[in-house]
Structure 1
């Protein structure tokens, strides 16, 4: 089975797997002072350093979490707590003022889900900025225009998981800082970098973000993660701890640390720091080869739902045109490869992906979408085999329809 769904999850890199296995023998509690505990604490410190190096952050700005959903929810609730605490002491001395949050229509559900829930509860004002139809990307000016005096948080993903579109986070960060100075209030800026790390360079300082979400299983690491929090010590009063208890993670996330998984995350980050250019090149070469072979096989019968100039190097979202060629039907017949559809299927009803529709993809095209995401070891031979099978599947489905 040829695996081509690396945006969904990645296997453990062999070095990562070995590091986790080795760390399983380090059983001491990292909060303990005896040798076994000190060894575990030292391994965690080394992992924190490696992750910091990967995204150009200080060690103390990295807090370990269970993954992206936890990190994203923490950012949202911490920012809202900050606004409400300021309001309570008079900075926003009006009980009717709610915190205002800005995000985009193409975010992951771990951002849109909690924000829409808080809006329904009446706890926040929410502005969802749409993709510009001409550029098929977010315009920094649209974010800036949406900022109000009660805006406390702006969350914009670094790269979209379905189309691979890289959003202009750095430019948005600059626009936010300018608005922040004009309004004289703190506006937190967060980016979910789950899809970006391991595929493109990620520099937290250059991006002008306050928070950055890190997800291990998207870059050949374990299923845990971390949250970058800017200037942790100097601006500690700005942030609310996620979990209270024993005071682990410098008081930000209590609970005994999962040493082996943290070690594995650190090694995965170290591999990116050392080898990103090599990883990028293989992903790009095989993604571009896939596009070439699809065009050769299907001609005008294939449409590419991504813009290569602003796309992750490994992502190819495409649609094979024709009645009865919906993405889920193609995958039902696939025997030799794994990838994803661009559709959200609910029981027996399959509808075009809302994300693709929000990128202004024609509904008929979006319904036929497939997302192939290549990895570090994907080969051109695998691409040839997959395209050959897609040709056979199309013929079979067309015969079924006739």
Structure 2
């Protein structure tokens, strides 16, 4: 009897009576009323048997990392809800799922940031119900720590930007975000690194403007489990991200890396694609820097442009298009500063065109960065 009691108390099923769930959710706030959610969940069924996972309204869920030995898996759709049923789950085994969809009325990070000289300033208010930790602002390759912002809390931002800042590669950006260099499970920031790795190598290479990120320790409230017991615990982690509106006052400086180049055709407004506008021309990659992508709400005039990259970063020269003379020109190794007298040559319809022979050297390539000096009109 004593041995049986010890076995019951020490066994995982004795310590965990229900389900143990870990949900990692990436939440992109689109507006105070709407947020896009992508999540992955792992559920440990300590007692086995039937396992049912139901998604919140507006979300879709399905089995992830499907294995051939998972028998009796069914996905049911009912109006705006979805359910995954796992049958005959072995004792103390794990099942994985994914979920995606829209979450309503989450709130947002309210406020605006303003460029003044070589500084960025402003107040941000957390108008969600989530307590956020390790919040940061990403301006191209620059990372500004903001700290913790409790629900309904406000933080003041006042940061001086460096005059010269060549664009960072994804590895450098991940290190600047403070999640370590390894993605191994013994990394204390393993979960954060895994979630940011996908974003930095994907979304952030396309997103423009100032990006806010913050972490919330807790479930996202998008999945519920049921089966032989309704008891359970969700060890959740949420990554909250949002684009912050940007203003400018007086003379301002836009650091390199904030404007992400678009790779593709060189097309003037109203121009149709043609064979000479191919994205890959003579094995060279076209880069289009559009100053309107900075998202600065006020009208401003350009005072100077500064193309920045490290010397020797590219195997072959980088070229810039001279709109006035209609020809390509080779840039000096390490970039070029374009003053007001030369702007009419290289800036047309708020666009700068570059051409490179592929990405930069190394396993973590980066495109040249474009810094902008402007004056609000």
TM-based fold match above 0.5: no
The TM-score, its normalising length taken from structure 2, stands at 0.25
TM-score (norm 1): 0.24
Task: Give the structure with the higher percent helix.
Answer: 1
More strand by share: 2
For the pair shown, the structure with the greater C-alpha radius of gyration is: 2
